A and B are shown apart, each in its own frame.
Chain A
């Protein structure tokens, strides 16, 4: 396990464990409270499995009133609480603390209402992202944000992280696709922000909660917008002889007025890795591969795909394939979706970074990463959500070699700092959690961070809800900021990661 600074452990809480467990057992069904070592083990980490902590106890309430009673009790007794959805987060946002209750929302797994007339679904937070789409797709509807872990990640976790996906440029992230939340504050107060109508007036408290990484409240119900499935979806798979030409084509597609549903870029290292791994049939001679997906009505999509073709040819593409069937479209994505496991097959370990950069800075960023790769003597492969500027470099290394691990950490940190220097940010979609906590000062000055901390204080005065996450506790910019996967043992190996 890697070392990370966590809030000071309150030994008086540890000493009161049996009393606390007893009280919790009165606030919910006794079977919903876990406190034995073997019961706690599955909850020791989230998908950032390099860090583990054993929680004081795990409690799995069944309804909002129970959540409220538990939080009220913890608030009055000064017991820390770490909320957890499905535990698929990549930044350690649900990492337990030894003196904290881990509040799991796994039993909140029901869809409460499907309302086609108002185009929304009211759901409990433990329902998976894809579960919502599955519930409405027979009527031709879907829920738009599609994080790669959508098969397993919960909608409550999506709200906490403001999760995105490959279609963020056109359809937005979670914050743009929810209408309301019910939330319990640390003192047990139950509140409702929004509902089934658009844009609640007054302070947009739902907007504040979305992406707050479980620091401000525990979401117990979510109302999401559903959209009608597009009539036609087609994709183009385009190879380029250089990074610059491919990057320029992606920029030109956007500036020509096309808003693709998805647009992905892979560099040569990743093209080879994924093609070896998944036999996707990618053009192996290309230096850069671009996947562009367009949706809409038939003539709209055909018109747009023609424009994309013209732009790519103008930028000297070396190959260009257009999907003519749903099967073919999915085959274009097959390699891209296997990017993470493909890297896992090439080295004992890999770190996945998650920065955002302006689209036009791609060539510059990749060149810089290449230089860093040579400097640190570590191979790297890059994928890029070109639609929304989200860059995921995958650094390959051997975690058993302590020197390599140190170098990887430095390398990763330098990449994120490069993202900030180029006008981007340190996390596009994985969240800050504990992983990028100390890099917050790369982006924010003291005033900015103090303002955010004073919001936290105003809603959770005792700092009991998910402490130690998001905001620096070391007060220095440490060398952190990556997802570590050892021997391809991702905690969720079956989830496509992109």
Chain B
């Protein structure tokens, strides 16, 4: 770790010695100076997701939070260009006024961190690339980024992409930046694809009797022409009283029996087509009216917010794991998790949020092995206070690590930006 050095610039520093560059050129000046002095920096936005990833090995902290504001919003062109640390809330509000949205459904990590909403900034969101429940239908955050500007580890301002959907000019660096945890560039500008909001939504609840049936339903739902835009499974987990209490309080809706296992799937569109799709799906899943309950739009919308806020794991002090696997292996994983760990399943069977109530990291190691065997991966999103980082919080193999090191080198040869945030050496 390098020692703290004096930066010859006018860039504002607060009492904690955090740098607050006010624009792109100040970010560039600061990083250029840090590059010259071989002095790495942690990059933060509004600090809403900085708990995700390893602690960086750096002497300085740079906050991009002042690089904020909407630059250009063209509803008819379906894009919005913003400064990198524009709060998600601000973007969602202006889109909502035009009946548009970020279709990837940003997760609100504020609830697991501190029990209240804190969506943070778009730069933070892009750097993590964690999409919400609609992901399996509309793609991830990376699929909605059309372009960006930022400063690489040498202090050079670089850009990629643009405002148009179809663009194959040069390497698609927007994809590379998504999920890079601020280790390649300090973002200054982001162009996002936006989409129209659906008129309405309804959520259908099914109460399955066993794990095979859950995945049979998930498979039928994702194989239907009557498209759904969300499907979760929340298990009963009757042995853990605290979890049951939490589950009942989070999912307290008139038309939902939350004390037993349930699948919820969402249908969006205009009112007539919602009914048509639900009727089609009922036939395809061979469901009768007595097997199901339906959340109308007034229950459906808050239901999916609670899912995407991870409210069931609000303020968790345990390790929280995000595991993604191909859905065909989901029922095996559910069986393993049953009464071992609290969890729920999103993305129509692909995404598992698992709370690992254990001081020992052996269990995380076992789960990681399972994720790899199933053809997926896991990330420890939030660590308990006892976590000693003996087990890496990301999943990576040797070859990908070697290539990641090369890519890092090409953006940030002296490892100035968020060193060690993802992997040692990157």
Do A173 and B166 have beta carbons less than 8 Å apart?
A: yes
| Distance, CA A211 to CA B160, complexed state (A) | 13
| B291 nearest CB across to chain A (Å) | 22
Do B158 and A451 have beta carbons less than 8 Å apart?
A: yes
Do A428 and B326 have beta carbons less than 8 Å apart?
A: no
- Which listed residue (A258, A299, A443) contacts B276, Cβ 8 A? A299
Do A297 and B226 have beta carbons less than 8 Å apart?
A: yes
Do A358 and B377 have beta carbons less than 8 Å apart?
A: no
Do A303 and B140 have beta carbons less than 8 Å apart?
A: no
| Distance, CA A116 to CA B184, complexed state (A) | 37
Q: 0/1 per residue, A170-194, Cβ < 8 Å to B?
A: 0011011000000001000111110
- Across the interface, which residues of A come within 8 angstroms of B403, CB to CB? 185, 191, 203, 205, 459
Interface assignment of A48: CB less than 8 Å from any CB of chain B: no
Q: 0/1 per residue, B285-307, Cβ < 8 Å to A?
A: 00000000000000000000000
- Which listed residue (B152, B173, B196, B399) contacts A258, Cβ 8 A? B196
| Distance, CA A173 to CA B409, complexed state (A) | 29
- Across the interface, which residues of B come within 8 angstroms of A115, CB to CB? 326, 328
Do B176 and A204 have beta carbons less than 8 Å apart?
A: yes
Known: A191-B403, A228-B224, A458-B407. A389 touches B168 (CB 8 A): no
Interface assignment of A200: CB less than 8 Å from any CB of chain B: yes
- Across the interface, which residues of A come within 8 angstroms of B270, CB to CB? 300, 303
- Across the interface, which residues of B come within 8 angstroms of A385, CB to CB? 166
| B331 nearest CB across to chain A (Å) | 11
Q: 0/1 per residue, A121-135, Cβ < 8 Å to B?
A: 000000000000000
- Across the interface, which residues of A come within 8 angstroms of B162, CB to CB? 356, 423-425, 443
| B160 nearest CB across to chain A (Å) | 7
Question: Nearest A residue to B103 by beta-carbon distance?
Answer: A259
Do A201 and B196 have beta carbons less than 8 Å apart?
A: no
| A424 nearest CB across to chain B (Å) | 6
**Which segment, of B70-78, B206-214, B244-252, faces chain A?**
B70-78
| Distance, CA A231 to CA B395, complexed state (A) | 39
Question: Nearest A residue to B145 by beta-carbon distance?
Answer: A207
| Distance, CA A164 to CA B165, complexed state (A) | 10
Question: Nearest B residue to A164 by beta-carbon distance?
Answer: B166
**Which segment, of A63-71, A236-244, A249-257, faces chain B?**
A249-257
Do B175 and A210 have beta carbons less than 8 Å apart?
A: yes
Q: Count the A residues whose beta carbon is within 8 Å of the partner chain — how many?
A: 92
Q: Count the B residues whose beta carbon is within 8 Å of the partner chain — how many?
A: 84
Cβ < 8 Å to A, chain B residues 393-426: 394-396, 399-400, 402-404, 406-407, 409-411, 422-423
Interface assignment of B340: CB less than 8 Å from any CB of chain A: no
- Across the interface, which residues of B come within 8 angstroms of A200, CB to CB? 377
- Which listed residue (A193, A356, A451) contacts B167, Cβ 8 A? A356
Question: Nearest B residue to A230 by beta-carbon distance?
Answer: B225
Interface assignment of A212: CB less than 8 Å from any CB of chain B: yes
| B200 nearest CB across to chain A (Å) | 12
| Distance, CA A204 to CA B351, complexed state (A) | 18
Interface assignment of B170: CB less than 8 Å from any CB of chain A: yes
| B399 nearest CB across to chain A (Å) | 5
- Across the interface, which residues of A come within 8 angstroms of B376, CB to CB? 195, 197
**Which segment, of A34-42, A313-321, A429-437, faces chain B?**
A429-437
| B164 nearest CB across to chain A (Å) | 4
| Distance, CA A334 to CA B399, complexed state (A) | 48
Cβ < 8 Å to A, chain B residues 370-387: 375-377, 379
- Across the interface, which residues of B come within 8 angstroms of A254, CB to CB? 76-78
Do B163 and A423 have beta carbons less than 8 Å apart?
A: yes
- Which listed residue (A210, A259, A451) contacts B410, Cβ 8 A? A451
- Which listed residue (A196, A199, A299, A389) contacts B164, Cβ 8 A? A389
| B144 nearest CB across to chain A (Å) | 10
Interface assignment of B135: CB less than 8 Å from any CB of chain A: yes
| Distance, CA A119 to CA B166, complexed state (A) | 25
Q: 0/1 per residue, B258-300, Cβ < 8 Å to A?
A: 0000000000011011001100100000000000000000000
Q: 0/1 per residue, A397-433, Cβ < 8 Å to B?
A: 0000000000000000000000000011111111110
Interface assignment of A208: CB less than 8 Å from any CB of chain B: yes
Do A207 and B178 have beta carbons less than 8 Å apart?
A: yes
Known: A204-B142, A228-B225, A300-B270. A444 touches B159 (CB 8 A): yes
Cβ < 8 Å to B, chain A residues 289-345: 296-300, 303
Known: A300-B269, A444-B159, A451-B152. A430 touches B168 (CB 8 A): yes
**3 tightest A-B contacts by CB?**
A207-B175, A257-B196, A300-B273
Interface residues of A (CB under 8 A from B): 115-120, 140, 161-162, 164, 168-169, 172-173, 175-176, 185, 189-193, 195-208, 210-212, 228-231, 251-252, 254-259, 296-300, 303, 356-360, 385, 388-390, 423-432, 436, 440, 443-444, 447-452, 454-455, 457-459, 470
Complex A-B: 22 CB contacts under 8 Å: A115-B326, A118-B328, A191-B399, A196-B375, A198-B350, A201-B377, A201-B395, A201-B396, A204-B129, A204-B178, A207-B175, A212-B171, A252-B76, A254-B78, A297-B225, A300-B272, A359-B77, A424-B164, A447-B156, A448-B159, A455-B411, A459-B403
New contact pairs (19) apart from A210-B172, A257-B99, CB-CB < 8 Å = A173-B166, A191-B399, A195-B375, A197-B350, A197-B376, A199-B142, A202-B179, A202-B422, A207-B175, A208-B172, A208-B175, A297-B273, A356-B162, A388-B166, A390-B164, A427-B168, A432-B170, A455-B171, A459-B403
